[in-house]
């Protein structure tokens, strides 16, 4: 479990420390206060991979930059990672906790490596490969830090060096999980005979679903549901966006023990009447598989629906409230007992 | 932070009538104790901007026991300073200072209704003896002072509030009831001074 985190010079955070983190951490705050950036920081800290940048840019609806073999070209890929877009800063992302979840990532530009273009023997200038001077450096606290180097060539970016092996899944707001990834996870669980818990939980949550199975659709594996009153099986994503989302959360948790799951805006696509039961099932899965959750929400209903689950389990929850102070975002961690009391007393915690 | 909706309505009306700014009046959901509420506000937005928390409780029949009960509830919340005496501020790291106001006054048995009754009797002094006589004819004659004050006040509201004889203390201060002038009377001066000093 990640017990504390430090984020420095990443996106809107000049420096923020989170301590006393729990199994389930609920992130609230106004728009542009750093909720999504916090999830991205955790994701980046866990994966520490340079190519994550492209994925995060896509999720933020930022256009893929046209890669050009010059400084402006490669800088565009990571520029928005840096606080105030200041690439002279060093990004520090530090996670502390259990052995598997303790690591430090530093991201910075090494000026001495700038413009280090390697032209292969007999090659043409367009075959050139450049070493991008950005450094992704990882340390787990034992031994020398590992460096990942980014190469920039005619085929785009490539990476040399290992990435950390922390298990983390991210579900950004407004984006559905990859159906093939979901199908693959289901398949793995099915082979191991461990898919029943997911199916039973889904059936309990959504009684109109009588079964979930893996089917081939156009040669591609996909998850299908049997639905009461409908003769044919149908893709789960066609049954309901909410059902599909919940299913992918459960699959992510069931697929790896002691992983970390990031969900941005949990309430998206979920009917308010099911929120309490969704929380209960998510908490049940997190307890069963040792998953640590970081879940953001804007919804008061979503927070109130948490009350039956948090009551009696206060020590397993925290509330993280992000807020903007001048040009930087900050965060406050509130323990589960105070959080639970605040929901119970119908106070505004967002 | 009061004990219920009646306290909230009263303090909001008094602060408005006496033109005192800077307070947010809270009432619990479902009659809970101060401990839960103190934990709850620590989880609420804006907590870091709170400078002082004034807990308001009734003395009821035993002022000392009631005060000690409030202290125990503050202690149960954890983190906050616990005042040693009525109205004395207590501080603790990363927490606003805490004060306790006991009603009707420090050391006097009774409750909020005791003061409202005093104020209403200024408006209709001739009903004082009638109320006393009526009390003697009811089982309430054996009740404690706090409960008797509530009974007398309810009777007096029924007899004087033509707009709504059934009005509760929570709704007494709406302009329709035409009783807000009570808040400017002397029985509320001490509370007003305390609030003014804290604001």
Checking if the pLDDT of A304 tops 90, the result is yes
Q: Which of A173-177, A215-219, A243-247 has the lowest mean pLDDT?
A: A173-177
Q: How confident is the model at residue A77 (pLDDT cuts 50, 70, 90)?
A: confident
CA-to-CA dists, residue B130 to A101, B112, B124, B152, B158, angstroms: 76, 22, 11, 10, 14
Residues of A with CB under 8 A from a CB of B: 319, 321, 332, 334, 337-350
Cα–Cα distance measured from residue B50 to residue A80, given in angstroms and rounded to the nearest whole number: 36
Pairing of strands A220-227, A146-153: unpaired
B161 in Cβ contact with B153 (< 8 Å): no
Helix axes A336-344, B34-43, angle to 10 degrees: 110
The CA distance from B45 to the nearest CA of chain A, in Å, is 5
| Contact state of B45 with A319 under an 8 Å Cβ cutoff | no
A51 in Cβ contact with A157 (< 8 Å): yes
Cα–Cα distance measured from residue A175 to residue B16, given in angstroms and rounded to the nearest whole number: 49
Chain B interface test: which of A300, A306, A346, A347 (most B C-beta within 10 Å): A347
The CA distance from B92 to the nearest CA of chain A, in Å, is 17
Q: Tokens for A84, please give them.
A: 């105030």
- ipTM score over 0.85, yes or no: no
Q: What is the pLDDT of residue A50?
A: 83
| Contact state of A338 with B32 under an 8 Å Cβ cutoff | no
- Overall average pLDDT of the A243-262 stretch: 92
B75 in Cβ contact with B95 (< 8 Å): no
The CA distance from A347 to the nearest CA of chain B, in Å, is 6
Checking if the pLDDT of A32 tops 70, the result is yes
For the beta carbon of residue A298, count every other beta carbon within 10 angstroms.
17
- Burial (CB < 10 A; 0-12, 13-18, 19+), residue B120, is buried
Tens digits of residue pLDDT in A129-186? 777 888 888 888 777 888 888 887 777 777 877 765 667 777 766 667 788 889 999 9
| Contact state of B40 with A348 under an 8 Å Cβ cutoff | no
Tokens 């990476």 locate to: A159
Chain B interface test: which of A336, A338, A349 (most B C-beta within 10 Å): A338
| Contact state of A342 with B40 under an 8 Å Cβ cutoff | yes
A282 in Cβ contact with A302 (< 8 Å): no
Checking if the pLDDT of A118 tops 90, the result is no
Q: How confident is the model at residue A327 (pLDDT cuts 50, 70, 90)?
A: confident
Our CA angle for B47, B48, B50, nearest 5°, is 65
Q: Tokens for B167, please give them.
A: 């009005």
For the beta carbon of residue B112, count every other beta carbon within 10 angstroms.
25
SS3 B137: coil
Residues on chain B touching A337 (C-beta within 8 angstroms): 39
Q: What is the pLDDT of residue B8?
A: 92
| Contact state of B43 with A346 under an 8 Å Cβ cutoff | no
Q: Which of A68, A83, A99 is nearest to A166 (CA)?
A: A99
Checking if the pLDDT of B156 tops 80, the result is yes
- Overall average pLDDT of the A93-104 stretch: 88
Cα–Cα distance measured from residue A15 to residue A171, given in angstroms and rounded to the nearest whole number: 24
Tens digits of residue pLDDT in B102-131? 999 999 999 999 999 999 999 999 999 999
- Overall average pLDDT of the B156-178 stretch: 90
Checking if the pLDDT of A259 tops 60, the result is yes
Q: What is the residue extent of each domain of chain B?
A: 5-107, 112-182
Phi/psi region, residue A42 (left: phi>0; alpha: psi -120 to 50; beta: rest), is alpha
For the beta carbon of residue A319, count every other beta carbon within 10 angstroms.
26
Q: Does B93 lie at the interface with A, CB-CB under 8 angstroms? A: no
The CA distance from B29 to the nearest CA of chain A, in Å, is 5
Our CA angle for A284, A290, A293, nearest 5°, is 75
């Amino acid at each position: 479990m990640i017990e504390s985190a430090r984020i420095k010079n990443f996106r809107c955070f000049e420096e923020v420390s989170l301590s006393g983190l729990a199994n389930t951490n609920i992130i609230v705050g106004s728009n542009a206060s750093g909720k999504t950036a916090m999830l991205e920081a955790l994701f980046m800290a866990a994966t520490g991979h340079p190519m994550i940048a492209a994925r995060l840019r896509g999720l933020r609806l930022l256009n893929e930059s046209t890669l050009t073999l010059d400084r402006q070209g490669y800088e565009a890929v990571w520029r928005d990672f840096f606080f105030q877009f200041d690439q002279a800063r060093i990004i520090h992302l530090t996670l502390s906790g259990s052995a598997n979840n303790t690591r430090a990532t530093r991201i910075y530009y090494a000026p001495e490596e700038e413009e280090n273009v390697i032209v292969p023997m007999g090659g043409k200038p367009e075959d050139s490969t450049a070493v991008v001077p950005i450094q992704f450096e990882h340390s787990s606290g034992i031994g020398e830090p590992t460096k990942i180097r980014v190469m920039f060539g005619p085929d785009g970016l490539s990476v040399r060096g290992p990435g950390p092996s922390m298990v983390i899944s991210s579900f950004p707001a407004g984006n559905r999980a990859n159906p093939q990834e979901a199908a693959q996870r289901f398949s793995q669980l099915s082979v191991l005979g461990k898919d029943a818990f997911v199916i039973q939980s889904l059936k309990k949550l959504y009684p109109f679903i009588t079964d979930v199975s893996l089917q081939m659709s156009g040669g591609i594996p996909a998850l299908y549901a049997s639905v009461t009153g409908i003769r044919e099986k149908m893709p789960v994503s066609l049954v309901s966006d909410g059902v599909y989302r919940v299913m992918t959360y459960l699959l992510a948790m069931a697929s790896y023990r002691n992983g970390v799951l990031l969900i941005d805006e949990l309430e998206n696509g979920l009917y308010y009447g099911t929120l309490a039961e969704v929380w209960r099932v998510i908490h049940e899965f997190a307890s069963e598989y040792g998953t640590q959750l970081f879940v953001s929400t804007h919804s008061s209903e979503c927070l109130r629906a948490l009350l039956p689950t948090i009551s009696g389990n206060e020590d397993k929850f925290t509330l993280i409230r992000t807020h903007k102070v001048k040009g930087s975002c900050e965060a406050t961690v509130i323990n589960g007992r105070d959080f639970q009391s605040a929901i119970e007393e119908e106070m505004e915690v967002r | 932070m009061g004990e219920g909706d009646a306290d909230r309505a009263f303090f909001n009306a008094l602060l408005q009538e006496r033109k005192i700014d800077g307070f947010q009046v809270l009432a619990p959901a479902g009659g809970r104790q101060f401990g839960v509420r103190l934990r709850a506000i620590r989880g609420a937005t804006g907590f870091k901007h709170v400078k002082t928390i004034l807990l308001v409780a009734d003395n009821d029949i035993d002022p000392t026991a009631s005060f000690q009960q409030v202290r125990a509830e503050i202690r149960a919340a954890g983190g906050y300073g616990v005042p040693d005496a009525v109205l004395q501020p207590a501080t603790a790291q990363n927490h606003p200072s805490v004060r306790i106001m006991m009603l009707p006054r420090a050391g006097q048995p009774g409750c909020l209704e005791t003061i409202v009754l005093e104020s209403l009797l200024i408006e209709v002094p001739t009903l004082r003896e009638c109320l006393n006589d009526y009390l003697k004819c009811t089982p309430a004659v054996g009740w404690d002072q706090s409960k008797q004050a509530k009974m007398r006040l309810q009777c007096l509201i029924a007899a004087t509030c033509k707009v709504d004889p059934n009005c509760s203390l929570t709704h007494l201060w709406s302009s329709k009831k035409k009783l807000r002038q009570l808040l400017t009377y002397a029985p509320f001066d001490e509370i007003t001074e305390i609030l003014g000093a804290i604001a």
